[in-house]
A = this chain, B = another copy of it.
Amino acid sequence: MAKSAKKNSWVLTDTSKRIWVESIELNASDLGVSGAAGIGIRKYTLRGGLSDGVDIIEVNNGVMSFTIMPTRGMGMLEGFYKGNRLGWTSPVKDPVHPKFVHLADRGGLGWLEGYNEVIVRCGLESNGAPGTDMVPNNNGVPSPIALGLHGRIANIPAHYVEVRVTGGKEPELCVTGIIDESMLFCPQMRLMASISTKIGSNAFTIRDEVTNMKATAGELELLYHCNFGEPFLDKGARLLVPASDTAPRDARAAEDMDTWAVYKAPTPGYVEQCYWHVPLADAKGNTVAMLENAARNKGVAIRFNVKQLPCFTQWKNTASESEGYVTGLEPATNYPNDKMFERENGRVVKLPPFGKYLSEFVTDVYDTTSGVRKVEQEIAALQKAKPHKVHSNPKRGLSRGA
C-alpha cells in the first residue's frame, strides 16, 4: 500500500478519551485521493438560533455532497448531486439542536420541532405514531409509558465520531458515529452508524449496526425517513416500488388509491396520505424503490434488503411549498404504527442479549432519462415475481382497527 504512511482516519469526537475537534478541513490531498475539485471533508459547529452547538460534517465526493449531523443522531441534513438538491424545505429552517426539542410535548409530536432532514433515523426503542406501550417498570411490573413520534435516536448526539478514507482503486469517504440510546431500567441500544460514498459516485451507503447492550433480551424498531422535495418531487412525479401488497394506512389514504403512486403539485391544505408496501425482492432479498420526477429524467432510488428492512412506507405530503412539499420513502423493520400494534403483528425485532442488528441501504441519484429508465426496468423485473395487489381499504394486520 503506497499510502500506508499517510493518515487515513481522523477521530473528531471521543468522549471516553476527551477528544473533541472544534473544526477541521480535509481536502483531496489531505485525504490522499484525486478527482474533481471540491473533494473533501469539513467539520464545524453552528452558532446562533436553534442551531447553536450543532456539529456538521460535510462530505464531498466531487460530484455529490452531503451533510451529516453528529449532534442529531448522525442524520443527514441535505445533499447535492450535480446541482440537484436532496432534501426538502421544512417549516423548520435550521438544523435544530436537541436541547430545543421536547419530544413529549404536543401529545408526543415534539419530534417535529427538529424535523427537516433528508434522511433521519426513527427508533431505536420505537418509531411511528405516538402511543402507549406496556413495559416492565423498575419493579418488573408492566406499566404504561408514552412513546412519542419516531423515538429518541434522532435527538441524541454521537459520543464518538470519526471520518475516514479507504484506499484502493475506488477510494471511499466515510463518516462513522456511535450513539447510545440507553438508561437504567430501560432499553440499552448502541448504534454504530456509517455513511460512505465513493469518489465521483452518484450514490452513498448508510450502514448501521445496532447492539443490544444488555444481558437480557431487547427490542428494536428502526425506520429510515428519506424525504425528498423538488426537483425529484413535482406534479406528476411517481413512486415505483416492487410490491406484493400496497394498502392505505387509513380512510384518508384510501381516498386516492388509484393515484397512490402519483404526486400532486404543491397543494395548500393537503392532508398527508400514507401507504404501506410489502416489497418484493430478489433471491438475496435485495430490492429497490425509486421516486422519479414527472419528466422521468431525475430520480432517487433507495436500494435495501428485505431481510433487514422488510417494510416500506410511502408518505405523501404534497402540501404547499411553505408548509413542506415532500414525500417520504421509508424502508424499515416495521410500519410506523404504534409499537404495541407492531409487536402484536410480529414486526418488532427481538434482539438476544448483546445481539446485533445490521441494516444497510444505498441511495442512488439519477439526473438522466437513461439512468432513470434503467432503474424503472429493475423495478419492473422485480415486480414479475408476483402480482401487485393494491388494496382499496386499510388491511388487517397492517393498520390498527382494519
Contact = CB atoms under 8 A, between A and B. Distances in A.
A360 interface: no
Interface in A1-57: 13-16, 18-20, 46-53
Contacts of A140: 252, 271
Interface stretch (A212-220, A257-265, A292-300, A304-312): A212-220
A200 interface: no
Interface in A236-268: 250, 252, 266, 268
Interface string A312-339: 0000000111111000000000000000
Number of copies: 3
A184 B280 CA distance: 32
B180 A93 contact: yes
A159 B50 contact: yes
Contact of A139 (B48, B183, B250): B250
A48 to B, nearest CB: 4
A350 to B, nearest CB: 15
Interface in A60-100: 90-94, 98-100
Contacts of A170: none
A50 B115 CA distance: 20
A269 interface: yes
A353 interface: yes
A112 interface: yes
A106 B320 contact: no
A195 to B, nearest CB: 18
Given A107-B145, A159-B93, A185-B109, A320 B216 contact: yes
A39 to B, nearest CB: 22
Nearest to A93: B180
Contacts of A107: 137, 143-146
Nearest to A51: B15
B139 A215 contact: no
Given A139-B252, A183-B115, A271-B140, A323 B146 contact: no
Contacts of A185: 109, 112
Contacts of A145: 106-107
Contacts of A51: 15, 159
A98 B101 CA distance: 10
A52 B55 CA distance: 11
Contacts of A47: 13, 18, 20
Contacts of A268: 214-216, 353
Interface in A94-140: 94, 98-100, 102-107, 109, 112-113, 115, 136-140
A71 to B, nearest CB: 8
30 contacts: A15-B48, A15-B51, A15-B94, A18-B47, A19-B48, A49-B159, A49-B160, A50-B159, A52-B157, A91-B183, A91-B184, A91-B186, A91-B188, A92-B183, A93-B180, A94-B159, A104-B104, A106-B186, A109-B186, A112-B183, A112-B186, A140-B252, A188-B322, A188-B323, A214-B268, A214-B320, A214-B323, A215-B269, A215-B323, A216-B268
Interface of A: 13-16, 18-20, 46-53, 90-94, 98-100, 102-107, 109, 112-113, 115, 136-140, 143-146, 156-161, 180, 182-186, 188, 213-216, 250, 252, 266, 268-269, 271-272, 319-324, 353-354
Given A138-B272, A215-B319, 5 more contacts: A92-B184, A106-B145, A139-B271, A184-B324, A188-B323
